[in-house]
Chains A and B, each alone.
Chain A
Amino acid sequence: MSAADARDALEVAYRTEKRRVLATLLRLLGGFDAAEEALHEAFAAAADRWPREGIPANPYAWLVSTGRFKAVDRWRRQTRLANAGPELAALSAPAMEPSMPEPVQDDELRLIFICCHPALPPDARLALTLREVGGLTTEEIARAYLTRASTIAQRIVRAKARIRDEAIPYELPGRAELPMRLDSVLRVLYLIFNEGYAATEGPSLMRADLCAEAIRLGRRVVELLEEPEALGLLALMLLHEARRAARVDAAGDLVLLEEQDRSLWDRGRSTEAQELLERAFARRSVGPYVLQAAIAAVHTQARSVGETDWNQIVALYDVLGRIAASPVVALNRAVAIGMRDGPEAGLAAIEAAMTPGSLDGYPLAHAARADMQRRLGLTEAARASYHRAVELTRQPAERRFLQARLAQLPARPAGAED
């Protein structure tokens, strides 16, 4: 056993086992701080002992038992100073000794559910999940969310204090509570994914990382809970991810779905998403994620925009509008109607969706309206709508895209006024 072999094994263990070891230690030790300290000590011990004693057959089990031993040892030392704590009593109980590796994935899933506990504020759930489950550092999370590292660090510290103070149990929620809790987990995963997918600022590699992490966690949830909405969210994320390569051109500009080079789409991912969707529909209970994924799948199945089954897309939006009505759903449905029945019907539907006023500040609504107006030859109205969309857009790539559209409009007749 060379020192280099041991170092390589340690690096692999750190990359692949760290999260699972932390999740198990959290269950065994019952607190984030104790678990993290034990995790660190276990890896420090491995760096010291693996080169001398050899790499253990099961690094995960070795790290868990070493981490746990270190924690018990520390508590023993501390109790000599301040009289025995209940933790020590629990941990020294003989019954605890042999109960080593329980199903590992359960621990990781349990950790996701704790980090997404509804008692925590949403931004804390996000930061905690990214750090404790995703393995990102405080500094990386801060960079992704354009916040200061100390802000993220405080959010995490407060969330952990809340978990401790409210004695939130380190366990999976019971059947009755599951749907509500799963909802929170799925929402956090989708937020993480969208941050990686839609944001255009900041280092781009980091963002692809966020998408990959959200998909990895989505797979974990699906492996353990065959819930339709979990299947739906994973399918939705895979379908978006399948189109990633075609979504931006060589210059970094946005390419609309209808103009994307469909040969760049990742067929493996969309096939996997299709299978997930079939499993979800077989459960005969569809929610918003399943429906959104189904819509994305209809787009993906078409070999060109012309072959897109707009009838089916409108029908899916109808159902989505009934179970999860929102102005954005109404807008998307209106655009699909425009694609199915022509720009006149589309414009009328878009105007109707925009009437309540809630979409006034939403750039894509003005862009969609502009698009229908352009196709109807209402050049000046289209120009005004594109201008409004440009004003509202903060993302540089979207802004460039809209300005290009504006430039393509027929020139204003000489002497004409607005």
Chain B
Amino acid sequence: MRYACLIYYNPKTLFGGSPEAEAVLAECTTHDVKLKESGHFVMAEALELPESAMTVQVRDGKMSAVDGPFMETKEILGGIILIEARDLNEAARVASGHPLARIGSVEVRPVVDFSQPRPKL
């Protein structure tokens, strides 16, 4: 089964220059290799800060585009990793091995299996 690991961190903490943050950043550069070795890797990308992003909406057939979301001091979405894992527990264990889990948080989300019925709200 596939799981998306959504990595959140507070930029002020991660880029604040503390020795702990520096160690995390150094480890991040080689983390993909570890995932490839263990056979969990599908794809991984780090994201630029949200200030470089754009948000689009289409309402009544018209597109509107705005900058942002703007960076607050809160945690932002900083990267996405797609992994292959046996189940949610294995996915969580793999996610917990990401260096940013020590400084931010990693949300583990199952990728939708479209052969299954839609969720009932």
Residue A156 CB within 8 A of the other chain: yes
Name which of B23, B39, B89, B93 has the most chain A CB atoms within 10 A of its CB: B89
B86 touches which one: A33, A44, A137, A157 (CB < 8 A)? A137
Residue A216 CB within 8 A of the other chain: no
Q: Which residues of A have CB within 8 Å of B90?
A: 36, 40
A41 touches B38 (CB 8 A): yes
B89 touches A40 (CB 8 A): no
Closest Cβ–Cβ distance, residue B37 to chain A (whole Å): 7
Q: Which positions 70-103 of chain B face chain A at CB distance < 8 Å?
A: 86-90, 92-93, 97
Closest Cβ–Cβ distance, residue A164 to chain B (whole Å): 13
Closest Cβ–Cβ distance, residue A69 to chain B (whole Å): 13
Interface size class of A (residues with CB under 8 A): 20 to 34
A44 touches B37 (CB 8 A): yes
Q: Which residues of A have CB within 8 Å of B38?
A: 37, 40-41, 44
Residue A332 CB within 8 A of the other chain: no
Interface size class of B (residues with CB under 8 A): 10 to 19
Residue B40 CB within 8 A of the other chain: yes
Q: Which positions 40-86 of chain B face chain A at CB distance < 8 Å?
A: 40, 86
Q: Mark A127-152, 1 if CB is under 8 A from B, else 0.
A: 00001000001111000000001101
Q: Mark A59-95, 1 if CB is under 8 A from B, else 0.
A: 0000000000000000000000100000000000000
Residue A47 CB within 8 A of the other chain: yes
A36 touches B88 (CB 8 A): no
Residue B110 CB within 8 A of the other chain: yes
Question: A137-B87, A138-B88, A149-B110 are known contacts. Are A44 and B39 too (CB-CB below 8 A)?
Answer: yes
Residue B28 CB within 8 A of the other chain: no
Residue A153 CB within 8 A of the other chain: yes
Closest Cβ–Cβ distance, residue B102 to chain A (whole Å): 12
Question: A37-B38, A40-B39, A43-B39 are known contacts. Are A138 and B93 too (CB-CB below 8 A)?
Answer: no
9 contacts between A and B (CB under 8 A): A33-B93, A37-B97, A40-B40, A41-B37, A41-B38, A131-B87, A137-B88, A153-B87, A157-B89
